A and B are shown apart, each in its own frame.
Chain A
Amino acid sequence: MAARDLGGRPVLESVYSVIALVFVLVACAELCDAATVVDVYRLIQYDIAGAPFGSRLAGLNHHASSLHFPPGADLSRTVLVIPVRDLNLGYVKDYLSQRQPLGGLLFLLPQIFSFESKESSGNGEELLKNIVMELEQLLIHTNIPYPVYFAFENDDINTVLADIKRNDESGQPATATTGGYKLVVSTTEPKKVASPVISNLQGWLPGLKADGDPNQLPTIAIVASYDTFGAAPALSMGSDSNGSGVVALLEIARLFSLLYSNPKTRGRYNLLFGLTSGGPYNYNGTHKWLRSFDQRLRETIDYAICLNSIGSWDNELWIHVSKPPENAYIKQTFEGLSNVGDELGIKVGLKHKKINISNSRVAWEHEQFSRHRITAATLSELSTAPGLFENTGSLADSRNFVNEAAVIKSVKLVAESLARHIYGHQGKNIQIFADEGSLAVNPSYIRSWLDLLSQTPRVAPFLSKNDPFVMALKKELEEHTEEVILQNEVLDGMFTFYDSTKATLNIYQVASVTFDLLLLLVLGSYLIVLFSFLIITTRGLDDLISLFRRPPSRKVKTA
């Protein structure tokens, strides 16, 4: 006994440590064993002046159902899985406007909207694009009190959906007692993004100042806004709006930096390149950027050209102005552009939209310039002014719908007309940026930047202060221009955004509670049968019966 005690304590301690280790292992053994795991992107959640919009919840833990659910079923604890291909927009509209309770919504997007797909756009895809755009506009402007997610179709999720449809059609919607599929997104509740930052970039190409000339050189500004806004901020790549504008601006900067690098070909105009943020929010960034100009700079700007969505047009572009077309600068700019357009086979139209000072809505970037009393015009393929959060580079705006040739032609148009104005060759038939020359527009430069932009979501509140993409743009501008300045501003307080834009969805195939109860019943009866069988074979039937009957002989004895 004593020997056991002496050896007992270290043994006991090692036993305790083993037990502790076992407990730790047991606690961490939470494996993810889902049937399918999918990346999902949440609908944007934001407030305008306190009014809530978008999906207000992020966590999801409900059963899945398709659109073929039996009528009258209670869907308040179900997630509707809707592929966009079979979408009935009117139905969704009714559902949202009647504010019917729902556990969640999951939209499945065709692969053509993702960057990896290389399908070319045909007629069917244009229809899909319009449907997606309408859906986005509907979702963005509604207050939805449950989670809404987007996912791309792939084989796994298609089989799951087919299974769900089959279950629904056989009249058995998935609830806790009948089994089916469970969709789980475990993420923290969304929090406000504190002080969203918008970063404006500017680059300066100084012109050739003649010796002894005290006057400041005039400046021409070329501006494009680079940020986007869409229904799913993690998917708002905005290849056309305004990726095409950014790419065109970078290419024009590159071409003019080549021209200006040689003092013999440096023009008598300064060139100011601006990449602004805050575009969808009434061009808030442009406003703050212009406000930061000092008076002298503002007075030297002759005019500004803003580029907005120039990537998917066929043969017609529009110049939008807010000053009346009779204005001398406007006339000059328009004639220059339309002359070059005629040579290139592009029809350039002019549209005039007056600014309403009392209305805070700013539909075009040039309107901000006009409010700061700088002549400006916007070159765009859109013929009418977009409304709030329209054409801001959303889900439907993917790489497959952008035409590189269109961007290249736009670059040629703007660069030629600028160069003719700068070097005073208006009206002459000279091709400065001819193909096969050393100043030709570089298609692979345009393609690679367009591809990069189509893979980078650029919703301004979710870009951090030193976001790598903004730094990349800054570096690129530094290559072509001098004096690159990065200006960080806080977004106008009217807009509040909430985070949690991307999550992983686990799809589990669950068995119903009735199945478990049934299994318990079967196992219980199996064990009872086994027990009886073993007692009968080894001890005899009498022993089995004697288990249930108290022996009566004892009572007789005591009596």
Chain B
Amino acid sequence: MTVFHFFNCAILTFGPHAVYYSATPLSEYDTLGTSVKAALVYLGTALVKLVCLATFLKVSENESFDPYQELLKALIGFIDVAGLYFALTQLTHRNISQNHKFQAVGLGWAFADSVLHRLAPLWVGARGLEFTWDYILQGLEANANLVFSISLAALGSLMWLRKNKPKTLVPIIYACAGIVATMPSITSYLRRGLGWHFPKVVGFELFTSLAMAFISWQLFSACQRPSA
């Protein structure tokens, strides 16, 4: 039943990515190459972030919330945004509409994130006899992360790929993108500064991911209208 549990948590963590790919028109237009390229860009970004964190951050003994360190981490987090920019704009994609491009990039980004951050703990931990809720919560977090990545990719494509945007919406777009980009800092503040437990944090992430997805969908369709 332990390998069973690992299997369960694995399909919770990685299943939605596969389902998203096959359910949406992404599979029809065969955008797998884009997703793979986005995953590789995420890998590169993660390495750069690692090096920066190792150079600039000091290791703290206790789990308290240090504002200066968190600010530094947030700044380094913007490397994520830079990586996404690179993936969206600089890579050559086949002729796919913007609509599908950001989805494919977001999907590849989220999949790489899940694999890198969650596969190893899952393999090592979920196969043991001892039962904890941690791995199920981690899977839910991966789901929320998928939604966040796709929202961020949508907002990013709005910011950098679409030239004619309604003026009033521009600051909202940038604000939402800023919120989504600093999501890791916000969750770490909740966990350390306010002392929330893991289930509460995951619930918050799921809720905000759905909210941000809705907002970015509205923004995207609002920006779609002038060009249509």
Q: Which residues of A contact B (CB under 8 A)?
A: 26, 29, 31-35, 179, 182, 184, 506, 508-513, 516, 519-520, 523, 526-527, 530-532, 534-535, 538-539
Contacts and interface: CB of A to CB of B under 8 A. Distances in A.
Contacts of A532: 23
B129 A182 contact: yes
List 8 A-B pairs, minimum CB-CB distance, nearest first: A534-B23, A508-B129, A511-B131, A33-B128, A538-B24, A29-B124, A508-B130, A516-B4
Interface string B196-218: 00000000000000000000000
Interface centre among B8, B12, B136 (most CB of A within 10 A): B8
B57 to A, nearest CB: 26
B182 to A, nearest CB: 27
A523 B25 contact: no
B5 A531 contact: no
Size bracket of the B interface: 20 to 34
Contacts of B131: 179, 508-511
B22 interface: yes
Contact of B125 (A31, A511, A530, A534): A31
B1 A510 contact: yes
A531 B11 contact: no
Contacts of B19: 527, 530-531, 534
Contacts of A33: 125, 128-130
B20 interface: yes
B16 interface: yes
Contacts of A523: 8, 11-12, 15
Contacts of A184: 129
Given A31-B125, A531-B19, A520 B8 contact: yes
B123 interface: yes
A510 B129 contact: yes
Nearest to A513: B1
B5 A530 contact: no
A511 B5 contact: yes
A417 B152 CA distance: 95
Interface in B150-176: none
A534 B124 contact: no
A22 to B, nearest CB: 10
Interface of B: 1, 4-5, 7-8, 11-12, 15-16, 19-20, 22-25, 123-125, 128-131, 136
Contacts of B23: 530-532, 534-535, 538
Contacts of A513: 1, 4
Interface centre among B23, B124, B131 (most CB of A within 10 A): B23
Contacts of A29: 123-124
Given A509-B130, A523-B15, A535-B23, 14 more contacts: A31-B124, A33-B125, A33-B128, A510-B1, A511-B5, A516-B5, A519-B5, A520-B7, A523-B11, A527-B16, A530-B20, A530-B23, A531-B23, A538-B23
A34 B129 CA distance: 8
A73 to B, nearest CB: 21
Given A510-B130, A527-B16, A539 B25 contact: yes
Nearest to B11: A523
A29 B5 CA distance: 17
A23 to B, nearest CB: 12
5 contacts: A34-B129, A511-B131, A532-B23, A535-B23, A535-B24
Contacts of B130: 33-35, 508-510
Nearest to B124: A29
Contacts of B1: 510-513, 516
Nearest to A537: B24
Contacts of A519: 5, 8, 136
Nearest to A61: B129
A107 to B, nearest CB: 23
B11 A527 contact: yes
Contacts of A35: 130
Contacts of A526: 12
B102 to A, nearest CB: 13
